[in-house]
Each structure stands twice: as C-alpha cells, then as structure tokens.
Amino acid sequence: MSEKLSFYIKRIKEGRLQEMARQTRWIYGYAKRHWLAMILYTSLGMVSTVTSLLSSMVSKNLVDIITGHQTGALITTFCMMIGLGIGTTLLGQATGYATSWISMRVDAEIKADVYEKILVTDWESLTNYHTGDLLTRWGSDASNVSNGVLNFIPNAIIYFFRFVSAFVVVVYYDASFAVFAFLGMPVSMLLSKTLLKRMVNNNKRSAAMSAKMSGFNQESFANIQTIKAFDLIKHYAARLRELQKEAISMRLEFQRMSVWTSLILSTVSLLVSYSAYGWGIYRVWSGAITYGTMTMFLSLSGTLTGALHNITSLVPTAISLTTSAGRLMDIVEMPREDYSGEDEVDEFMQRNAASGISLTLRNISYSYHTGTEVFRGASMEAHPHEIIGLVGPSGEGKTTMMRILLSLAVPGDGEAEFSGESGGRVMLSPATRRLIAYVPQGNTMMSGTIADNMRNVCPEATDEEIIAVLKLACAWDFVAKLPDGINSEIKERGGGFSEGQAQRLSIARALLRRSPILLLDEATSALDVATERRVLRSIMHDDYPRTCIVTTHRPTVLNLCSRVYAIREKKCEILASEEVERMIMDF
C-alpha cells in the first residue's frame, strides 16, 4: 500500500497528473458542447447491454426447458430468443450508424475550431513549428480528441453499467460465480501502474515520428522540381527509407510491449474462464444449478471479464487522448492576435475611402524572438498616390519591414500608425490588415481558375472587374490569348504559368481587393525591366488613392518612386536623389 502511495506521490511531484488534469479540463470544454450526442451514444450502449443480458437469460430458460429442468413454452421462448437476437443485430447497426454520424460531426467541428484558432495564433510563435507537424496535430491529434470527446466518458459509463448489471444477474442466481469477475483485476491494476509512464512516452514519440514523416513528405512533394533539378532522387529516396526504418523500429518496439501485455492479460483471462468452467461443471454435477444457469454464467463470465478489460483499457485511451490534447494545446494556447479594433478600422477606412490613407513609422525597434536585433530607431512615411521604394542588402530587413506593416511582427518600441487624409488615425494591429493588399516574394497562386484566385480576395467581383485589374497589372495580354480566358486553370503553386506571369496575376489579385495600401515585396523580380516599369507606371496612374510600397533589388525602377528608403545598419533612412541616381547608374 505504501509503495502504491509513493508511486502516485512521485507522479504528482513530477507534474504528470496535474498536466493530464489540465488537458482533461481542456477536452471537457469541447465535451460539454456535445452532451446530447454523448447521452444518445450512452443510451444506445446501455440498451444494447440490457438486450444482451435478456438474451442470456432467455437462452438459460431455453436450455432448461430442453433438458427438462424447467417447464414452459418452448416455441415461445425460442421465438423470444430469435427476436432478441434480431433486435440486438438491428440495435448494433443503429448504434454503429449513429456513432459514425455523431463522430463525423464532432470531428469536423473540432477541426474547424482548431483550424480557426491556428490561423489567429501569433505568427512568430507559429513559425516555431514545421508545417508537417501542424498538419499532424490538426489532423490525427484533433481526430483523436474528437473520438475521445464522444467515446471516453460514454464508454466508461457503458462498461461500468455492463459490469454492474451482469454482476447483479450473476449474484442473483449464484453468488459464488461473482468471485471469478474479480480474479483478473489485480493483474490489470498492476499492468496499468507499470505501463503508465511507458504509454505516455510512447504516445509522444509516436506523434513526433508522425509529424517528422508528414513534414518530410510535404516538403519533398512540394519541391519535386528542385529534387529533379539537383538530381537528388536517390538521396531523397534513401532519406525516406531511413525515416521508414526508424518508424518501423519504433512501432515494433511498441508492438513488442503490446504483445507481452496482451499475452499476460489473455493468460489471466483464460485462467479465469477455465476456472469458471470448472466451477460451473462442479455446481451442475452437485445439483446446485441447472445446465441453463451454467451456460448463462459462462456467457456472463465473458461479459464480466470483457467489461473489466474494457475499463482497464480506458487508461491507455486516456493517456493517448490527453497526449493529443496537450499537442493541440501547445498550438491553440500560444499568444493570439488581437482583432478587437476591426469596427474602428472599418469606420476609418470608409471615412477615407475617397482620399486615401497614409502610413507613418517613427523610431521603431524590432528584434526576433531569438534576440537578434533587426531595427533600432527606424522611421518611414508613405502617402496616397505615392510609390515608396525600399532598398538594401539581402537579409537586412526589407521583408521584416513588410511583416511589421502587416502586424505579423510587432515592434518593441516606437509608433506605427495609419492616418487618413480626411481625418482619424489607427495604430497598426492585426485588424489593420484589411487596409492592405500584399504581394509576397515567390509564386502565391493557388490551384483553381484565374477567376477563382481573383475572387478569393473579392468574392463579389464581376468578370469585367477582374479583366480591368488584369489590364492594370499588364496580365491581360497573355490571359486574353488563353482558350478559356479568366476561366483557365492554374495548377498547384501556379503551375502552367511562368514566374513572371504568376507575379502579374498576383499583383492583379491584390489590386482587385482595392485596399488603400499596396505592399509589393520583390513582387516584380521575375519581370523584365520594361514590364516591371510598365506595371508600376500603370499602378501609379490609376485614379484609386493607393499608397504603394515596393521592395526591390533592382534600382532601375527607383526613378518612378516618390521617395526611396535604404534599410541598413538597423535604420530606415531616406536617400537623396543624387544617391538614387548613382544607384541606377551603377546597376
């Protein structure tokens, strides 16, 4: 007794039980939303248990009638047995269908909720996780939690009800048989205690391995072109085999533990069953019970043993469930972005829709979570109908500046605000992203038609409006030549179009949003100089009061900019016209 007490005290000191309790409370937050579904599931399970018990009792009566130990209507009893059998089958099918229906709904709801929470999680915190890990947590871990929400508590009630009801029937007919229900319990308890820590570690290792495999697969399939271009096929195939070997070795280790556990439990179960058989034969031989009662006892002995086994199996289920909950909590409990100012931003944008919005940064400082300083006292301003250029060596902070403007990265010091030509101002926040249209580096087109991609940012856009922005982005010249025009298909990652074409489509999509601020982060890098200048001139001559900020490595377009800022030595400093001209001449 003292040893068992020491075991649990140790677990409490290690914080494992508190952690599992916290994870259980988190799961309860979802469980309480589905109490009707849980009641339905539990009720079906309990009705199924009662039907099974009635079948055992009717079977006893039938055997006793046949052997002459009891008088009664043979045909009626036989028909009752058939009816209960059919009822049990129908009830089983109904339970299975209801379980699938409820499980799918709960799974979809939890995944949608977790997905939405991931999207509003602080961006910098989220970048600590590999995409494959996020997919594993959102996929398999969320499914595990949804199954647990529906099954764990109802199953605990069902298994307990099944054990108690079968135990009551056994005691009613012959209390001596009830002893066999408890023979395997000490072994099950001992195994649960011994395997608890291993189960926790195994579940964590298994989840980490799944994330590792998912990440490798996701990255390799997304970069097949690069793998082929560098002739890395054999290298990546070998890496996959190494990961598979690692995964197989780990799973075999888990399987060996499972085999030994199953062997012990099965051996105990067989000993209990054979002991029950022996005792039943003795009781029949001594005339204490009838043949029918013995067959019922043997049937209920399996029910009791199975119920105990199921109750014991809830321990690893609980561990798996709380492990998955903990992995999801790591994500959804990270700092959230604050969208509380959305109404204020909407009112601000409407007030300044006709005149435009300016952007001002004053003495901002920013450092990565790792401690690396990027900006110290950086300042910048941009106004409607201006194109502002940002230049500087690669890695000095141009893309980070874009992330600050998008409130993906939050400055430590200084002021960052949008001000309206018609009055008012708002500080940069996640809510101010609705003021911005953003075109990042690389190909950001998604699978679907050109029109689908455009309407992702403006669902109500007409074909005429889409064509207008395609012309503005100098993309209509090649789209018009396609057989299906704006209804032409774009493959994954912009497949079917050149990098330059995809960039112009991305710019057109950003223009369609008609946001007062347009950010182009190396968004024209794949265009030739003439096309790049044509696109920027087109944007500049548009009547819409747009404020445009462009990062570029090519100074040939800087003479189109109203002002040019250089990001260097952790500052953002305006360049004199002479220095801009010198950069253009030296290019």
> Which residue has tokens 């594993």?
136
> What pLDDT does 2 receive?
47
Residue 192 has pLDDT above 70, yes or no: no
Three-state secondary-structure class, residue 108: helix
Gap between the Cα atoms of 357 and 518, Å rounded: 11
> What pLDDT does 9 receive?
46
Burial class of residue 176, CB neighbours in 10 A (0-12, 13-18, 19+): middle
Residue-wise pLDDT tens digits, 428-457: 999 999 999 888 877 678 888 899 989 988
Element (H, E) at 507: helix 499-512
Residue 215 has pLDDT above 50, yes or no: yes
- Cα of 210 vs its chain's centroid, Å: 14
Torsion of CA 54, 58, 59, 64, to 10 degrees: 140
Where in 397-462 does DSSP place strands (E)? Answer: 413-420, 425-427, 436-439, 448-449
Burial class of residue 46, CB neighbours in 10 A (0-12, 13-18, 19+): middle
Residue-wise pLDDT tens digits, 58-81: 777 777 777 765 555 767 777 877
What six digits make up the tokens of 387?
């194109």
Per the model's pLDDT, the better-predicted residue between 227 and 361 turns out to be 361
Length of the chain: 587
Three-state secondary-structure class, residue 74: helix
Q: At what angle do helices 233-285 and 185-222 cross, to 10 degrees?
A: 160
> Which residue has tokens 């066999």?
180
Beta-strand pair 571-574/563-568: antiparallel
Mean pLDDT, the chain, rounded, equals 80
Gap between the Cα atoms of 325 and 291, Å rounded: 50
Ramachandran class of 494: left when φ > 0, alpha when ψ lies in -120 to 50, beta otherwise? left
**Alpha-carbon distances, residue 208 vs 130, 215, 318, 486, 489 (angstroms):** 11, 10, 18, 43, 37
Region 201-224: what's the mean pLDDT? 75
Q: 2-332 architecture in CATH?
A: Up-down Bundle (1.20)
Residue-wise pLDDT tens digits, 355-384: 889 999 999 999 887 778 888 888 999 999
Gap between the Cα atoms of 260 and 505, Å rounded: 60
Ordered alpha helix ranges (H), 286-407: 291-332, 342-351, 398-405
In the chain, the percentage of residues whose pLDDT exceeds 90 is 9
Per the model's pLDDT, the better-predicted residue between 172 and 347 turns out to be 347
Per the model's pLDDT, the better-predicted residue between 461 and 309 turns out to be 461
Query: What does residue 412 show for φ and ψ, rounded to 5 degrees?
Result: -80, -35
Gap between the Cα atoms of 67 and 72, Å rounded: 12
Gap between the Cα atoms of 29 and 149, Å rounded: 10
Q: For the chain, what are the domain ranges?
A: 2-332, 342-586
> What pLDDT does 12 receive?
44
In the chain, the percentage of residues whose pLDDT exceeds 70 is 89
Torsion of CA 303, 306, 311, 316, to 10 degrees: -160
Using 50, 70 and 90 to split pLDDT, how confident is the model at 11? very low
Instruction: Decide if 2-332 and 342-586 have a common fold.
Output: no
Residue-wise pLDDT tens digits, 487-520: 998 887 777 788 888 888 988 998 888 889 999 8
Gap between the Cα atoms of 84 and 73, Å rounded: 16
User: Longest Cα pair distance anywhere in the chain, in angstroms?
Assistant: 116
- Cα of 213 vs its chain's centroid, Å: 16
Burial class of residue 207, CB neighbours in 10 A (0-12, 13-18, 19+): buried
Three-state secondary-structure class, residue 256: helix
Residue-wise pLDDT tens digits, 236-254: 888 888 888 888 888 887 7
> What pLDDT does 359 receive?
92
The residues with which 388 forms a beta bridge, in sequence order, are 549, 563
Classify domain 342-586 at the CATH class level.
alpha beta
Region 135-147: what's the mean pLDDT? 82
> What pLDDT does 361 receive?
92
Ordered alpha helix ranges (H), 373-417: 398-405
Gap between the Cα atoms of 144 and 67, Å rounded: 50
Three-state secondary-structure class, residue 392: coil
Region 75-94: what's the mean pLDDT? 78
> What pLDDT does 8 receive?
42
What six digits make up the tokens of 430?
């996640």
> What pLDDT does 189 receive?
59
CA 530, 531, 532, 534 dihedral sign is positive
Residue-wise pLDDT tens digits, 284-310: 777 777 777 777 777 777 777 777 777
Report DSSP letters for 202-238, one per residue.
HHHHHHHHHHHHHHHHHHHHHTHHHHHHTT-HHHHHH
Region 103-118: what's the mean pLDDT? 82
Classify residue 469 by its DSSP letter. H
How would you list the strands of the sheet with 413-420, edge to edge?
373-382, 357-367, 413-420, 425-427
> What pLDDT does 197 receive?
58
Q: Which amino acid is at 233?
A: I
